[in-house]
Chain A
Amino acid sequence: MRIFNQTLLLFGAIVLALLGQARLAHAETAAEIMSKNFVISKVSDSTSETTMILTNKSGKERVRKTFGTTKLQDNGIDNMRMTRFLEPTDVRGVVSLLVEQSKKDDDIWLYLPSLKKVRRLVSSNKKDSFVGTDFSYGDVIGHKVNEWEHVIVGEEEIDGFMCHIIESTPVDETVARNTGYSKRVGWIQKDNYVSRKAEMYNLSGALYKRMQFSKIELVEPDRNKWTAKELRAQNMITGHSTVIIVDKLEVGVGVKDSFFTTRYMESE
């Protein structure tokens, strides 16, 4: 009987140890969280109208208005994004087309009405400002998860929602150089993997940008896709800031492929 009890205890201990290991195995890694964060806002397709308010250190504002469409490619990861500028007058009619490529550099084309031509652009550089805003091209497209090493460094409540705090560092010098960041820190909402806040550090290690994402809505319930309708970014070095307001958003409306062609870009 004693041997039986000892055997039972040992068995119980092994089962508990295995269960503990299993629980540990199911605890999400930082990379898994970032992978979910990367796709959480990738709706099947969308049309939107957006206002961008750019404010310099002395409070002077510039305003851009755009009309845009997105459509997820067949692989379910890469997006096609078309953005047409409506205001101000000097950029009205400028159209950009970005076709994400998860296995290589993205493709970018730009139509400038003054040139009357579509021009293919170099896309490896993600650190340049997106049309003068405080968001870089990399920030707008999303930073590829496998190009960064991710670590959970804590948790914090943002706007009443518990968030993981995840620190991401570039896997190599090229990624750092192309994005202009030596480190990114993201506040990812625990229950839906949406970004609530982010901080970017420049190559010198100084805090470079701070971003906030609000008015977060479930926009495609059947695919569990969420979108922030107000995005703020501040350059902590220059004091310049940008607010992007999504004025109108329609998701899953059957956007045609023809939007993502040079033919559409050239339509005045």
Chain B
Amino acid sequence: MIPVINIAAIGRLLKLGVAFLVLLSLHTQTVKAQEEADPYTDEPSLFPDDVLSEGYEPETYWHTGLNNFGLTGSFRTGFWSSNRLNDKEQDIGTGSIWLKLDKRIMSGVSVYTEGYVRDQNLFGTSEEFDRIKEMYVHVRKGDWDYRVGRQIIAWGRTDRLNPTDNLTPRDFTLMSPEIDEDRFGTEAIKISRVFGMYSSLTGIWIPNFRPNELPPANIAGLQFSEVEPGGSNQYALKFDRSGSDIDWSLSYFTGFDLNADLSIVGQSGADVLVQKQYNRVKIMGTDLATIVGANRYALEVAYTRSEDESGIDPLTKNSFFHSVLGIERDFGDNLSGIMQLFYRYVEDHQDPRVLANAGQRAVASLNALANHQLDEDEYGLSVRIGKKWWNETLEGELSGSTLLERHGSLIRPKLTYSISDHLKATVGGEYFDGGPDTLFGLQKNNRTFFSEIRYFF
């Protein structure tokens, strides 16, 4: 089946590009004059002119002009044996165009935008969508940094499991072999002040709220709807020290929980009407990382104060403590491994499975399961082993995670081969296992083999 291209979305991205072109032309002369006057009053351009020595002629591609302008991207197509929507759909084709514009428009001022248009079901009922992941202006003036616009704010020093990373969301339904590509931004103003070479204090105002996008639960008897908070001012503050023997930070966030709580709002026939609601949280966190010999140690801890401070509402998550302790070792020959222990403690814990009302019991149990609050204590282990071969043209990774008390687990092998500088192929899989009382077990429908080819330009 021929993929349906989202013309409107491409149009929006093109308009964005044109807008930046106009902006650039307005500033070109100013920048040139400034750089000629004193090129080191600020950082040199990140995109310097090509000056190659004799004897080597660089290849010119159709996209060289775009790249010199700061526009890069990729065409991607893939095959997945299952999607991430927790349904029975199988043998799925994907196609997408990703674009990124990263441009310094004048001394100390740069613009950045990244987005994509994609179809996550080329062979079936088309599932097109587009997203501007980030679009912001960054201004650097002396010891101050200002970043205004839609932006991803990623916190935490442990590997992939980050208790302090609560400001901007992820799209867990995105079918991409690269886990971290599921992040997307929220409109925010971020202001940082650096102190010396190593320390900084960052204040953030997020006037908008975007939640995590999760696979639908698809549970018989429950009908879901969603309500996002309006007038959703959120604030965060972070002190960070990076560059001396130990990297560490202290952070505070007051805003909305990226993960919904489930509330019962009615009945429709035999079905319970469930609404996803995003409640306020206050999160204090800290992280640190250091190197001792051939090992990297990282610790990240956060305490989340929920709206249900006394823990009496079974449909609102309780306050909890979340910590991750990790050790990473470089074994040499491009082989490395990371092992992490994670632990959650839920305050005023009550088992939702003992509730008398059947509807409330079902919803409260699902809420607790989705929010890691089924047990008062939750222990888990994650492992990641990475290896590179043939001058880093072939990269292999085997990662996994398991919950120690309920034995739910996820295993994720992945192999990536760089066919050339512009072409990359990835194959891999995700294998979820566990009972229905584990988050991994609930995602058995998402077990998948995936493959993807990317052409970078």
A residues contacting B by CB (< 8 A) are: 47, 49, 51, 53-54, 56, 60, 62-63, 65, 67, 84, 86-90, 92-93, 99, 105, 107, 109, 114-125, 127-129, 131-134, 177-178, 180, 215, 229-230, 238, 240, 243, 245-248, 253-264, 267-268
Contacts and interface: CB of A to CB of B under 8 A. Distances in A.
A214 B50 CA distance: 21
Interface string B53-70: 100101100000001000
Interface in B130-171: 138, 140, 145, 152-154, 156-157
A130 B150 CA distance: 34
A88 B180 contact: no
B391 A257 contact: no
Contacts of A56: 390-391, 393
18 contacts: A56-B393, A63-B421, A86-B48, A89-B422, A89-B456, A90-B421, A116-B153, A117-B156, A120-B157, A120-B296, A121-B330, A128-B330, A128-B333, A131-B392, A132-B391, A133-B391, A177-B332, A268-B110
B243 A262 contact: yes
Interface residues of B, number: 69
A180 B332 contact: yes
Given A62-B418, A89-B74, A268-B102, A67 B48 contact: yes
B295 interface: yes
Contacts of A264: 43
Interface string B396-433: 00000000000000000000001011101000000000
Nearest to A84: B46
Interface stretch (B23-31, B275-283, B286-294, B350-358): B286-294
Interface in B247-291: 247, 289-291
A129 B334 contact: yes
B126 interface: no
Given A120-B290, A122-B291, A129 B392 contact: yes
Nearest to A263: B194
A98 to B, nearest CB: 12
B332 A263 contact: no
A261 B197 contact: yes
Contacts of B390: 56, 238, 240
B235 interface: no
B242 A109 contact: yes
A67 B51 CA distance: 12
Nearest to B328: A122
B228 interface: no
A247 to B, nearest CB: 5
B46 A132 contact: no
Interface in B418-456: 418, 420-422, 424, 454, 456
Contact of A124 (B52, B138, B293): B293
Given A115-B180, A116-B183, A118-B242, A89 B418 contact: no
A230 B53 contact: yes
B333 A127 contact: yes
Interface string B187-230: 00000101001101000000000000000000000000000000
A125 B330 contact: yes
Given A122-B329, A128-B334, A240 B391 contact: yes
B58 A117 contact: no
B332 to A, nearest CB: 5
Contacts of B110: 267-268
Contacts of B80: none
A195 to B, nearest CB: 19
B239 to A, nearest CB: 14
Given A67-B46, A127-B332, A262 B154 contact: no
Contacts of A260: 197
Interface in B321-341: 328-334, 336
Nearest to A262: B242
A60 B198 CA distance: 42
Nearest to B244: A107
A235 to B, nearest CB: 8
Interface in B304-334: 328-334
A267 B45 CA distance: 12
Which 4 pairs from chain A and chain B are nearest by CB? A132-B392, A89-B456, A88-B421, A116-B154
Contact of B40 (A215, A245, A255, A263): A255
A256 B40 CA distance: 8
Contact of B67 (A89, A118, A119, A238): A89
A188 B234 CA distance: 61
B178 interface: yes
B127 interface: no
A100 to B, nearest CB: 14
Contacts of B52: 51, 245, 247
Interface string B70-111: 001110000000000000000000000000001000000010
B44 interface: yes
Contacts of B156: 117
B422 to A, nearest CB: 7
B457 interface: yes
B100 to A, nearest CB: 8
Contacts of B129: none
B44 to A, nearest CB: 6
A105 B293 CA distance: 8
Contacts of A246: 53
A53 B56 contact: yes
A65 B56 CA distance: 13
Contact of B140 (A129, A248, A267): A267
Contacts of B102: 92-93, 268
Contact of A247 (B51, B153, B243): B51
A105 B47 CA distance: 32
Given A122-B295, A245-B52, 14 more contacts: A56-B391, A89-B67, A89-B74, A105-B293, A116-B154, A117-B156, A120-B242, A120-B290, A132-B388, A177-B332, A215-B53, A240-B390, A243-B56, A264-B43
B112 interface: yes
B376 interface: no
Contacts of A121: 291, 296, 330
